[in-house]
Structure 1
Amino acid sequence: MALQLNRRQWMKATAAAATWLWVSSEFQACRREGPQPLIFSEDDLLRLDNNENPYGVAPQAREAIVEAIRGSHRYPHRLYSELVKMIAAKEGLAPENIILGAGSTEVMNMAIFAYGVKGEVLTSDPTYFDFIFYAKQAGSVIRSVPVDENLVIDLEAMANQIQATTSLIYICNPNNPTGTIIAGGNLRSFCEEASRQALVLVDEAYHEYVEDNSYSSMVSLVREGKKILVTRTFSKIFGLAGLRVGYGMAHPEIIAKLEKVQMNFASIAYPSLRAALAAYTYGEFTRSVKEKNKWVKAYLEKELDRLGFYRVPSQTNFLLFEVHQESKEVATALEKQRVLVRPFSFGGRNWLRVSIGTMEEIKSFLAALKRIERHIY
């Protein structure tokens, strides 16, 4: 597949893709994992389906967004450089190790086009469904390996599936939708070996939420020059989901390959970059969000246990629990109660994934869950 497209080819390809996305039922199922929202006002819907930060953005980031309007007639190149340098300094890397994107999904897309389309993509099942969708959209051949009995990514089984044709390996840690983690030492050993064959992409979107001491980031392998790409996002704990800011960390040679397939010279808007710079600078807000998430998650865990649901231990801002009816049916019943969650079916079982909202939101969710109990027992 050609990676270099002229402007006319790119516009044609984009138009064709947009048309396909409009009609594709697979896309709708992948993006929404259930029926489209019922027609209520925004204020009526309790949105616990996208793992967003329910506490908004840091006050400093909010002020930065407002202030940025005055400079939005300028291209954001200088702000790109500032954010890259800030991330690099915090992670012990050089600016040449960093690439920015409109959300971490843009960086993942670059990896798919730079590496994934050249051979096979190896990943776990289930995992972050947007990555799977975009890899399929690009025409990649995907080899999926089921998670183990504890719903943890099975590294041994994945290692056994690495082929001579494997060109990209995707690991989401913590994993979405399970919320489980891989112990740092185990993942490091896997990455060191697997990166001899392919680029290993470690998605750390929920990195800041993890409390388990066995977890560790794979940025250390980037510092060592391994063939590793670590992606992170400002969409989760920083609360900037609607502003679309993410980044990748890798060896400069890998970054250069990603840049060759990057289709937009400045995909992140000026106000978004201003907000990201402010959010990254002030850690007090994210520490507060993590503490609140921990407190509300513990309450939800206790209540789900009391109600008799099997839940998966989570190191994120969401919980996955099993239901005994078809998951989309249960999600639809909750939607009629004005509560949005994500339904999943894998391993012959049905699951709902619920984002950790505020305490008030979670109490409302539990009340709705009790009202539809005939659908789930």
Structure 2
Amino acid sequence: MPTTRRSFLAGASLAGGLGTLPLSALSATGMTGPDKQPVFGPKLGQALLSRNENPYGPAPSALQAISETASMGCYYTDRGHERLTAMIAERHMVSPAQVVIGDGSTEILCAIALAWGRKGAILCPDLFWDTTVLYGERQGVATIRVPLAADMNVDLPAMASKVGEGVSLIQICNPNNPTGMLIPAADLRRFAADVAPKATLLVDEAYNELSDRPDDNSMIDLVRGGADIIVCRTFSKIYGMAGLRVGYAITSEANAKLIKSHLMSFGGNLAGVAAAIASYNDTGFLSQSRAAVLEGRAMILDAVAKAGLKALPSQTNFVFVEVPDADALRDAMAGRGIAIRGAYGSWKGYSRVSTGRLEDVARYAAALPELAGELWG
């Protein structure tokens, strides 16, 4: 990494949130618990690589906006909400009426689960970021889950064969979480042409900006073309704003109106909306942020190879590593102060590790070959 970029990222790390400030500064603001640990972010000395966060954000432009608007926290966000909506609509060449903003994309995805769940079942892969689908299930929504293909990618032909069984919504995460794999754009477009006339297609593009060709991989142009598609995006990943809770969807005006009728918040978080407005077009920060993720991902893949392991191809800020026992590796890493994910349900042979601060990724990279040898010889 060039010195200039290291300097930028180091500065962004220090400015990026209370969780990265020295303990003395946190104590001065009351942001420590009874155990003197920070209230937000990693614990003291912990390498936090389990949550797909971007610790190099928010951008300096976002932090400045938060500072300038903090005293306005007594006001609702109406006009800021309208401004952010207009900015998103302008970039993607859609009407503002086609944009939905929520408290993170999670709120929007939950609203979609409820709205379309009243019309029929949600069709989805059996391994993807299904928190919002599970929310729908708890409210009585029916789901149809389709096993992944043998290569761990989403099995589009198998999913297409299930459309028509009372399905109102088809939900896909692309790139997928937790596998990190990207459905090739041409394949997803053919799938959309086949299924979107029969049911609404929801594509969660939370990690799109981290893929090799973000614009080519997105389905937003199909929305502009009139297809029955909803695309969801978030400020949580490349923008480093996970705790500020801003996400959005782009779809038809009719779909947007239906989604808005099921949202639970009122206008959003003022600090988050201000930060989103300030950093949405901050191309300098976005380039630096993406570069840090790619460098961290390369470090992880190099460590995987040195450990004699394999990983699925990733287009995200995390890697799905093939291991004999994901929970055993999680526990062993925790013993060294490194937090990664354990097994996802029955997928006990895959361990997800996120990129984070490069110095924390370096700790994981050093530990993985050693622990793999200790655990599995």
For this structure pair, what is the TM-score category when the shorter chain's length is used for normalisation? 0.7 to 0.9
Q: Which amino acid aligns with 2:224?
A: R
**Contact 1:339–1:368, Cα closer than 8 Å, also in 2:** no
SS in 1 for 2:255: helix
The CA deviation at 1:347 is 7.0
TM-score by length of 2: 0.85
- The count of corresponding residues between Structure 1 and Structure 2 is 337
Question: What are the Cα deviations for residues 34-62 of structure 1, in whole angstroms up to 9, with x where unaligned?
Answer: xxxxx994222211111111212111101
Separation in 1, partners of 2:105, 2:360: 27
* Worse-superposed segment, 130-139 or 204-213: 130-139
**Structure 1 residue 356 corresponds to structure 2 residue 363:** no
SS in 2 for 1:344: coil
Question: What are the Cα deviations for residues 76-115 of structure 1, in whole angstroms up to 9, with x where unaligned?
Answer: 0000000000000001111011000000011101111110
**Structure 1 residue 338 corresponds to structure 2 residue 351:** no
The residue aligned with 1:228 is 229
The residue aligned with 1:129 is 130
SS in 2 for 1:320: strand
The residue aligned with 1:91 is 92
Separation in 2, partners of 1:345, 1:229: 26
Distance of aligned partners of 1:151 and 1:264 in 2 relative to their CA distance in 1, 3 Å threshold: same
Q: Which amino acid aligns with 2:319?
A: L
**Structure 1 residue 110 corresponds to structure 2 residue 114:** no
The residue aligned with 2:28 is none
**Contact 1:323–1:376, Cα closer than 8 Å, also in 2:** no
The residue aligned with 1:148 is 149
Q: What does 1:123-202 align with in structure 2 at a 5 Å threshold?
A: 123-202=124-203
**Contact 1:191–1:200, Cα closer than 8 Å, also in 2:** yes
The residue aligned with 1:245 is 246
**Structure 1 residue 301 corresponds to structure 2 residue 318:** no
Identical-residue share of aligned pairs (%)? 34
SS in 2 for 1:261: coil
The CA deviation at 1:310 is 1.2
SS in 2 for 1:342: coil
The residue aligned with 1:328 is 327
The CA deviation at 1:369 is 2.8
The residue aligned with 1:273 is 273
Q: What does 1:74-85 align with in structure 2 at a 5 Å threshold?
A: 74-85=75-86
The CA deviation at 1:333 is 2.2
The residue aligned with 1:119 is 120
The residue aligned with 2:21 is none
Distance of aligned partners of 1:213 and 1:99 in 2 relative to their CA distance in 1, 3 Å threshold: closer
SS in 2 for 1:305: helix
Separation in 2, partners of 1:349, 1:75: 45
Question: What are the Cα deviations for residues 17-44 of structure 1, in whole angstroms up to 9, with x where unaligned?
Answer: xxxxxxxxxxxxxxxxxxxxxx994222
Is there any run of 5+ residues in structure 1 with no aligned partner, and where? 1-38
Separation in 2, partners of 1:242, 1:235: 7
Separation in 2, partners of 1:225, 1:54: 37
* Worse-superposed segment, 153-162 or 190-199: 190-199
**Contact 2:110–2:133, Cα closer than 8 Å, also in 1:** no
**Contact 2:299–2:365, Cα closer than 8 Å, also in 1:** no
RMSD between aligned residues: 1.9
Q: Which amino acid aligns with 2:71?
A: R
Separation in 1, partners of 2:296, 2:329: 23
**Contact 2:102–2:265, Cα closer than 8 Å, also in 1:** no
Question: What are the Cα deviations for residues 102-158 of structure 1, in whole angstroms up to 9, with x where unaligned?
Answer: 000111011111102432111012101313322322222211112212211111111
**Contact 1:112–1:138, Cα closer than 8 Å, also in 2:** no
SS in 2 for 1:64: helix
Separation in 2, partners of 1:342, 1:329: 11
Separation in 2, partners of 1:243, 1:171: 24
* Worse-superposed segment, 367-376 or 239-248: 367-376
Separation in 1, partners of 2:137, 2:121: 11
Q: Which amino acid aligns with 1:279?
A: S
Separation in 2, partners of 1:138, 1:177: 24
The residue aligned with 2:316 is 316
The CA deviation at 1:342 is 1.2
Q: Which amino acid aligns with 1:307?
A: A
Distance of aligned partners of 1:102 and 1:161 in 2 relative to their CA distance in 1, 3 Å threshold: same
Separation in 2, partners of 1:376, 1:144: 33
Q: Which amino acid aligns with 2:250?
A: M
Distance of aligned partners of 1:249 and 1:261 in 2 relative to their CA distance in 1, 3 Å threshold: same
SS in 1 for 2:349: strand
Separation in 2, partners of 1:210, 1:317: 9
SS in 1 for 2:363: helix
